[in-house]
Amino acid sequence: DAGVIQSPRHEVTEMGQEVTLRCKPISGHNSLFWYRQTMMRGLELLIYFNNNVPIDDSGMPEDRFSAKMPNASFSTLKIQPSEPRDSAVYFCASTWGTDTQYFGPGTRLTVL
């Protein structure tokens, strides 16, 4: 059974460029979460969707960040323009309802 799938696994870009991270949740799950992990701040929730609808985006750091979930099997997190302080590992997780969240392998983003 496939777990959460994220792409790309690694992304290196230059400051000012647009970055798009992708996530495919586990089939049948109806909640999807985007997290960011850094050494300084640990694992922090950016935004989560329930039934494709954004429920809480209070963790999105600023307007440069946006997330969409056009259907139950796909979500994107976009950063435009990117900045060096956005360098982190971004995780996607999914679940059914409010049950245990299952995490993907993450995307390591480096902004030069």
Partner 1 sequence: EDQVTQSPEALRLQEGESSSLNCSYTVSGLRGLFWYRQDPGKGPEFLFTLYSAGEEKEKERLKATLTKKESFLHITAPKPEDSATYLCAVQAVQDTGKLIFGQGTTLQVKP
List of residues contacting partner 1 (CB under 8 A): 4, 31, 33, 42-45, 48, 50, 55-56, 91, 93, 98, 100-106
Which secondary-structure segment (H or E) carries 85?
Answer: none
Strand 88-95 relative to strand 102-103: parallel, antiparallel, unpaired? antiparallel
Cα separations in angstroms, 27 against 49, 92, 104, 107: 15, 14, 13, 20
Number of other residues whose CB lies within 10 A of the CB of residue 3: 13
- The nearest distance, CB 30 to partner 1, in angstroms, is 11
Taking the least distance from each CB to partner 1, the nearer of 28 and 42 is 42
Taking the least distance from each CB to partner 1, the nearer of 55 and 112 is 55
CA distance 70 to 84: 28
Residue count of the chain? 112
Taking the least distance from each CB to partner 1, the nearer of 45 and 72 is 45
- The nearest distance, CB 72 to partner 1, in angstroms, is 16
- The nearest distance, CB 102 to partner 1, in angstroms, is 6
Taking the least distance from each CB to partner 1, the nearer of 64 and 108 is 108
